[in-house]
Structure 1
Amino acid sequence: MLAGFPGLYSLLIFSLVLNLTVGVDVGCQNWTPSGKNYVCCTSCKPGNRLVKRCGYDPAELCKPCEPGTYITGTDFSCDICTQCIGIQFVAKNCTSSSDTVCGCKPGFRCGDAKCSHCVTECKKGEEPKGRVCGQCPEGKFSDKIHSTCKEWTKSSCPDGYKLKKGNLTSDSTCIPPPSSSVRTVTEQETLPVISKEKDEMNWLPVLIAAMIAGLALLCIILSVVAYVKAQNKTKKKAKTEQGNSDDSTIMVVEQEHCSFHHPEQEQGGSSQSINTENSESKLIV
């Protein structure tokens, strides 16, 4: 098709070389032939605005946006970069091909996709109402940050189960009876392990108490044995002292008895001695 337009062919070659050597970010990116030696731009390079639709030189059809402006398509004008103000902060700077990206300070969040403004971030139990938050009404809950309140879903429970009313942050739930044997598979698998650990923990204080009781009993036995030995020793000592006292009494009685008869013996002896002396005198005479 370009064979019938030798001048246009040369112009395209020149424009390609110009784009490769002078600057690839300036000018038209895609164009189509239009008339004799004319081209019409279908899309500009990123960050370039359209100066005129058709012309001889594709590089002259588009120009870069001025500082502080940007463009995202093929148009004749660039838009002014967004300014982040107030509780916003700049998350990404503006370029010739993209607008500024704003963010919101902690406690707030973007109010729309472009984050053109910030709204208060709602906590659990609250829901957004415009740019502020409102508490969930009775019968509704919100278990996620900055989410819409939802209706309580549990309205009835199986036989034996008790319905626990929901609150601002949680849904209604069914609570099994205390003696219920209903368990999930996970609970059934972990129950033996838990029971074993509980049994070991329950035996530990019993073992300690038994050891303490055994030591106490041993101390009592030793105390009783020592007391019995002491009593026996005291009794033996008392008996020994009593025996010694009786012997002394007998000796005293015997001595007194001997002293009682001794004068008579002495008297009898005196008479005998007198008679003996008389007899001896008579013999001598």
Structure 2
Amino acid sequence: MMDAMTWSLLSGVFQILYIHVVLGNNCHTFKDSCCTHCNPGFYLTQNCGKCVQCPVRGYADKPNDRYRCKLCNRCEEPLTYVSTCTSTRDAVCTCTAGKKCKDEKCSQCTSVQCLAGQQRDGEGCSNCPQGTFNDGTKLTCTPWKNCSALGGKIIALGNLTSDVVCGTPTTTVTPSSSSATSTTSITTKMGKVIRPPSEESNLHVIYIVVSSSLGLLLIAICVACRQKLMEKVKQVCQKIPKPVVKQAEEEDGCSCHYPEEENGGETEPMTLEA
């Protein structure tokens, strides 16, 4: 008869063979010859059952005792796949160009509005690279025009929000009664003529500025002269002596004089003729 030690050894070997043959090699944890947890990517078929691999649209990202796998995410418009789903990892989604995720799991998207001079960069905005521009109507920045390749020259530099302007310098002569003056105009690719400001308009501006300056100077001189004149008048008035008012001599008495009789002496009594 086999001794106890040999029997224990054979029992252990049979148990290992049972686990690998019956339960499979995808069992993570077992107890009493039963699998209690499966490896990632597998699930239990029943109690003390074997581990079966997850189906195409299912996954198990860690050891588990579940009887079915988790359902994979589906990245549908406006979402797109960063990585597809496997038996051990869920699908990773992100938003399409021009939109950004609302949460960490990127379950929803929201529109991204970039300013002029910027372009959409993943879930945000970034400034246009050097040599490109965006006027705010496009999703990405556009390179500046190459004026030399178009047979012209740069007459206006570009920036983040506008393209360079190409054109060809041309010279035209305008005759006048006194002398002939040459003016230079620039014709753009669209046929628009850009002319420098004329000398006549500059002379008008200079005339207005000089006239205004002379007028202000004349007003200032008049005000200063008036103030000096008033001060001199005041000084002359102060030197003139004040008039002395003499009091009228008092008259002797205030009685009225009656006229004396022409014949002098006492008045004779009036007689009547018969």
Scaled by the length of structure 2, the TM-score of the pair is: 0.34
- More strand per residue: 2
Q: Which has the higher helix share?
A: 1
Please report the TM-score for the alignment, with normalisation by the length of structure 1.
Answer: 0.33
